[in-house]
Amino acid sequence: MSIKIGIMGYGNLGRGIECAIKQNPDMQLVAVFTRRAPETVRILTEGVSVCHVDDLLDYKDKIDVLLLCGGSATDLPVQTPEYAKYFTVVDSFDTHAKIPEHFENVDKAAKENKNIAVISCGWDPGMFSLNRLYASAILPDGKDYTFWGKGVSQGHSDAIRRIDGVLDARQYTIPVEEALNAVRSGSGPELTTREKHLRECFVVVADGADKERIETEIKTMPNYFADYDTIVHFISMEELKRDHSGIAHGGFVIRSGKTGWNNENTHVIEYSLRLDSNPEFTSSVIIACARAAYRMKIEGQSGCKTMFDIPPAYLSPKSSEELRLKML
């Protein structure tokens, strides 16, 4: 008896989930749903149908968990509460500031319809959040640090693309090695935004565009770049495509804290990820959360959950006995 999965949206994330299903024998892909004309969407799994989103409700009893692979800006705020009415759903909503609002909306829909919805699955939010939580629960007298990268930030790349004269751009967020080492020392340093991350931009401009103005516009852009040391390279479209189409990412969550009657002992907890493919790793987390969602639904639970609410054993295909025997 495998868990029957539906994928909503077939971009990088949807494709990543399709690949992850192949690695998890307890999962079975039932259908991919798209807003495009289904016949124009080619998927990798043989014998699985691509359906138009309008036909989704026909699959109400054929799917155990529907995985929502849309974007956090406009898709998920609408889709997750809507589909939580009919399905057990999982999303990777990652607009941190809007998580409480999203949670409330989804929780209401899921509870009213006795479904489970797991939101904000991935690595940040997701595994990084879990590590912040565990480390702070263990070391209450301490400090948390999160470093991202090296990896492409979609939001920052988009911000550069909106500048007049820019044809395309890719922005890498890079953790500053000295800052990482200061944190690892356990000294609990106060670090400014500028001290933690570097921003490196690769920019393609239109013929005759004013590079000096563009560079200044990037480096002084509030919120995005003004508080950082920013490096700008102008390159050709050919170079951008050849050298900067990777989707690698990663980062570090570090907490140092004190214990002892007089706080005399220091401890450093570090979690890090080095990912060749950001969307495929996120997809792999989503699949594990789909397994947990399925189990919670079967238990009769309902409402919105995050990874904070999931007993870790629910993520694994192994039985509790096997986990205790082999992993504890």
Question: Using CB under 8 A, which of 12, 49, 269, 295 touches a second copy?
Answer: 269
For residue 283 the two structure tokens come to 């997809």
For residue 42 the two structure tokens come to 């080619």
Give least dist CB 207 to a second copy, A. 36
307 binds a second copy (CB under 8 A): yes
Q: Measured on CA atoms in the order 259, 260, 266, 267, is the torsion positive or negative? A: negative
- Stretch of 2-10, 75-83, 120-128, 233-241 lying at the interface with a second copy (CB under 8 A): 120-128
Give least dist CB 225 to a second copy, A. 26
Which residue, 270, 325, 303, 253, is CA-closest to 111?
303
Helix/strand/coil for 313:
helix
CA distance 148 to 252: 6
CA distance 176 to 173: 10
Give least dist CB 241 to a second copy, A. 19
In Å, how far are 3, 206, 211, 232 from 216, measured between CA atoms?
A: 52, 16, 9, 10
Q: Looking at the DSSP assignment, which residues form a beta bridge with residue 118?
A: 90, 305
Interface with a second copy in residues 122-141 (CB under 8 A)? 125, 127, 129-134, 136-141
Interface with a second copy in residues 14-43 (CB under 8 A)? 16, 18-20, 22-24
Interface with a second copy in residues 216-255 (CB under 8 A)? none
Question: Using CB under 8 A, which of 86, 150, 280, 295 touches a second copy?
Answer: 280
Question: Using CB under 8 A, which of 47, 208, 222, 260 touches a second copy?
Answer: 260
Give least dist CB 212 to a second copy, A. 39
Which residue, 88, 242, 270, is CA-closest to 175?
270
Size of the site for a second copy (CB under 8 A): 71
First to last CA, the chain: 27
- Stretch of 54-62, 65-73, 200-208, 257-265 lying at the interface with a second copy (CB under 8 A): 257-265
Interface with a second copy in residues 60-119 (CB under 8 A)? 96, 99-100, 103
